[in-house]
Every structure is written in C-alpha cells, then in structure tokens.
Structure 1
Amino acid sequence: MASEKVQQMGKLCIPGMRLSVSNEEYSPGPGTYELRGYIYATLCGILKMEQDENKVTVVSVESPRTPSILPKAGDIVTAKITVVNPRMAQCLILCVGSSVLVRPYRGILKKEDMKATEKDRVDPYKCYRPGDVILGRVLPMTEIHWYHLSTAENELGVVIATAEGSPQGIGMVPLSWSEMQCPKTLVKEPRKVARVIPENINQALCELKIENKPEKEK
C-alpha cells in the first residue's frame, strides 16, 4: 500500500471514483465495486472504512438513500444459486433478513454445510441447481471475498425453484423435505427444501423483481 494512495475516510465520493486497491487488506463493501484490482465508488456519498473480524478493511460508500448493510455471521440471508459442482455451490447473496442489498455479495455453500446429517455422503446436485433461491445462515468468514453459508438447519434450504424444462416462472411445489415437483409438467427433482419460509421473504423477493413466484408456505 506504500505506492498506492487510499482516499481518506469521510471524503465525499462520486460514482467511478477510485477509492483504494483491492487486496488482502482492503475489500469492497456496499456502494462500491471491484475492477482490475481496484475499488471504485458506485454512489454519491461519504467514504467509510471499517475493519471486520479478520482485520480486513471494508471500503464502502454511505448514501442517505442506500443504507449500509453487510452480511455478518449468524444472519439469515436470501441467495440465488449460480454454480453447482461436486464440492460446493456458489451463490449471490441478495438480501439480509428483509433488507435488499445495494449490491449482491458472493457466497459459497460447501457440501458439508448443506445438510445436518450424513455430511460425507451429500450430493450437491441433489440439493441445489443454478437458479434456485435459498435461505442460508452466514458462517464466520474464512476468506476475504466470499461469504460462507450453511443450510444444515431444517428451516433453511430451497424456497423457490424451477424444474429443468418447466415453463418460465412456474415454481415447483415441495413434496417432501428432499423433493419438489413442477405442477405443470409433473417433473420431480431432488432438493434440500426449507421447512419454513419467513414472512419477510415475499416482500424481499418482490423488491428484487425475481421472475419466479414463491409458492405458499407448506
């Protein structure tokens, strides 16, 4: 950091303004984005810097119109699955509780954190598919640029899903805690289904304009 200038906390920022480098010491927060190793402002507002539990400085821009929210350990978040492989699922965190984030944050759901039992036998493809909307709990951070999530609790897991080949926007209906079915095509697919949908999820998803419509609570 000796050769790179970091803007002073409290400074007035405008969109596109370079704030600092992005590395193991500085991480982008709300109101900012990362591009080619640097952190830039996306809002007009005041520069804010806070250290997280890993002593990483989170660089953010606060605006009166956009409250500053960061996922923290223990929070229940709404996320959308983007990638699934044999070891984990990647996702974008869209909401913390009922609050919609200014920008999505990247999350990881490791196979051992997907279910509470038989962790060594969990198949991520039988739990989640890209496009699924899930509820997860944030675990303590172990990496700078990723939030680690868990869906091991009964109340966490898939809340909105569309079967492969189903019509656009037709959500599947839970048949059990491990299977969902498309009401149009009657196609069944395995999922790690959330047992309870919080009251605030419908409002949060409406604000996000997610195309799939949530089913009623089981």
Structure 2
Amino acid sequence: MEEKEAVMVTPGEVLGRSSDVKAGRGAYAALHNNTVYASLTGFRRTIPPSPDSPDQRPAVEVTGHKAHGPVPEPGSVVIARVTKVMPRSASAHIMCVGPKSVREKFTAIIRQQDVRATEIDKVEMHLSFRPGDIVRALVLSLGDARAYFLSTAKNELGVVSAESIAGATMVPISWTEMQCPLTGQIELRKVAKAAS
C-alpha cells in the first residue's frame, strides 16, 4: 500500500510478461506462455531490481492483506485434506505447502485423470479417497479461479493418513489398500509410497 499503485489482484490475474518482469512472492511465471500471474488475493507491488543485479527486470509481487504464508504454486508438493469425493473428482483443502502450513484457505481438486499414472480409465474416486483422508499431492496448475488442480499420479503421492470407520489411523498394506489396526478391516485407497 506504500506505493501509489495499490491495485488489488486475485489469483490467476495477469501481472505482466516474463520478458518485462520477474515473479516475486505471491506470483508465478507460466512457462508455456511467458506470462506472470498472481497466485493469491492481495495488492500488486513492483520492486525495482538492485543496481548491481545481472537481471534488471523489476520483480512483481502480490502481498496479501493477511500475514504472508506459503502459497501453492505449480510444481509444489502439498498436503491436503479431502473434503468431498464425487464420481469424477475429489475436493480438498490444502493445509501445507512443503513443510510449511498455509495461513489462507486454498481449495483444490483432484480429477479422475490425475489420480494415478496407469489405467486412468479404471480409476474409481470413492475407492481412491474418502473425506477426511490426508493426501500428499503435486500442484499441477492454478486450475480455474476457484481451485488448484492436484495430481497423485506418482508413487510417492496419494493418501498418507486415513481414519477407518472405527476411528483408528489406518496402516498402508499395499499401493491400493489400508487396514484398520482395530478391526482388521481393509479399505481401498490410492496409497502414497513412504519415502525410504
């Protein structure tokens, strides 16, 4: 707000061309069209480059009106809680970007084609996720203005924590199954491979 150009922007809004400006906090550059976009709601600021910087493009950043927390960007790995499972997609709330918890509410969607890398046409969403599951996922893109698109199509991505019907934290027993330690009940999931 200290600048004259206290322009409010929203996620997905164009901030400039990559040839003219570089993406600062709260912004990201899309490589496919060399455009810099806002990744959160806030005020647009242009920061001039330091005189000795080899890159003389000014940085454009979006500073939220709230304290700045981490922001999901294409390529970042996030932890999200599944909120709703539909036939062709699952909705989730992003809780962490990398090791840092987010301060704003970010909504995400895992589409049927992004659940796993093989046999995409056989994916059944209700056998991959349940509401309340905690998933590790990769941010594919900003999606539409309402939600990020996430992918769990790599071995290390998918459900990392799930609660059984009996209320216990389930144990993964294969790529597609988790078991309740109390009842022995097996439930199907798209399980994330634990990092060894």
TM above 0.5, one fold? Answer: yes
Give the match's secondary structure for 1:195. Answer: coil
Number of aligned residue pairs: 155
Q: What amino acid does structure 2 have at the position aligned with 1:59?
A: T
Deviation at 1:49, TM superposition (A): 7.5
**Are the counterparts in 2 of residues 26 and 56 from structure 1 also a CA contact under 8 Å?**
no
Deviation at 1:80, TM superposition (A): 0.1
Q: What amino acid does structure 2 have at the position aligned with 1:117?
A: T
CA distance in 1, matches of 2:26, 2:152: 31
Counterpart position of 1:92 = 93
The CA deviation string for residues 120-177 of structure 1, in whole angstroms up to 9 with x for no partner, is 110001100000000000002231221000000000000100112x13xx20011111
Percent sequence identity is 35
Counterpart position of 2:22 = none
Could you tell me the TM-score, scaled by structure 2's length?
0.70
1:49-198 matches, within 5 Å, as: 50=27, 53=30, 57=38, 58-60=40-42, 61=64, 66-164=67-165, 166-167=166-167, 170-197=168-195
Counterpart position of 1:6 = none
Counterpart position of 1:26 = 10
Deviation at 1:186, TM superposition (A): 1.2
CA distance in 2, matches of 1:194, 1:106: 21
CA distance in 1, matches of 2:140, 2:28: 17
What is the root-mean-square deviation of aligned Cα atoms in Å? 2.5
Q: Compared with structure 1, are the counterparts of its residues 142 and 55 closer, same or farther at alpha carbon in structure 2 (3 Å cutoff)?
A: farther
Structure 2: segments with no counterpart, 5+ residues: 13-24, 43-63
Higher strand share: 2
Q: Compared with structure 1, are the counterparts of its residues 118 and 50 closer, same or farther at alpha carbon in structure 2 (3 Å cutoff)?
A: closer
